[in-house]
Every structure is written in C-alpha cells, then in structure tokens.
Amino acid sequence: MRLLESNELEENWENIIYPPKQLGRVTLDLTVKKLFAIKNQSQGALDFGGSEYQPVELESLKPKIEDDPKYGWWTLSRGHYIVEYNESLGKDSYLALVYPHQRLLLTGCFHTPFICEHSGDSPTIRGLLVVYDEGVRIKENARISNALTLKTD
C-alpha cells in the first residue's frame, strides 16, 4: 500500500467541489452534500448474514437560504445525524481513511474515523455526525472531514 499525494488525489476522487481549497499534500477535504436526521423511534437491525439487515430511517434536512442565495445553512441541535459527502472514491484498488477535520472538532462536533472503498453499487459516502449540546450551523459544501487515500495493489 502507498499513500496518494495531491496530484493523484484529484485523479482518483470524483465530484471535488474546489480542488485548490480541498487538496492538501496527502489529504483531501470532504464536503457536505446532504444531511439527514434519524427518524424518531427508528430502529436498525443487524444480523450475521445480512439478510435481516435494516438501516435506520432517515429524514432529509433542507438547508435554509440566508444571505447567500447560492448556498443554504443547516442548523443542527444536539444529536446524531447522517452526513452525505459530495466526493466519492472513483476507482477500484483504492481505499480512504476518513476522519474529522480539525475545524469540525472545534465547533463541538465529531464523527468517528472510518474506511471507505470504491463501490460500483453506491459510490455515495455517508458517515455518522455527532453534535454536542450547543448545536452547530453548517453551510452547504462545508469542508468537515479529511481523507487519506491509499492505493491497495
């Protein structure tokens, strides 16, 4: 395995919003496309083989347009949310470690690090976002996570 550098990141990720801001030497900042609330009383299910797997039910949250008519803001209260990223890993033989951006942590929010791979079935990357007591405002396309990308073969 080897870590990809900036020029390779742009070649192997799709839907990068603004490369000059998102590309670091060995990291890519991932941006928010959509946010979902977990419906009340929704319960997921996991089993050994996967035939009884059931994800929680999600409710799409609509961003509110304020001063900037191009981009809206989500205002989130304390709780757990699902974040969907704009970017997706574009090719097989790559995986990425996604971890919280330092700026996300400094707003009182976090998500656990996770590994993502290219998936032809669903290239969408989603993660669990945790918001602390005071809540947070997140603008559409905000950079909230970093990805380290590895070539696996």
Q: Which of 34, 29, 35 minimizes the C-alpha distance to 16?
A: 29
Mean pLDDT in residue range 76-84: 97
Q: What is the CATH number of the domain that holds 97?
A: 2.70.40.10
User: Domain span at residue 23?
Assistant: 2-151
Say if strands 58-61 and 94-100 run parallel, antiparallel, or are unpaired: unpaired
Average pLDDT over residues 15-43: 96
Model-level pTM? 0.93
C-alpha neighbours within 13 Å on the C-beta side of residue 24: 13
Which DSSP category does 54 fall into?
B
Residue entry with tokens 């990809």: 4
Cα–Cα dist 117/138, whole Å: 26
Asked if 119 and 91 count as a contact pair (C-beta separation under 8 A), the reply is no
Tell me 145's DSSP state: E
pLDDT surpasses 90 at 114:
yes
Angle at 126 between CA 115 and CA 28, to 5 degrees: 60
Q: What is the torsional sign of CA 74, 22, 28, 11?
A: positive
pLDDT at residue 153 above 80? no
Into how many domains does the chain fold?
A: 1
Q: What is the distance between the alpha carbons of residues 42 and 99, in angstroms, rounded to a whole number?
A: 26
pLDDT, tens digit, for every residue of 8-25? 999 999 999 999 999 999
Phi, psi of 45 (to 5 degrees): -145, 135
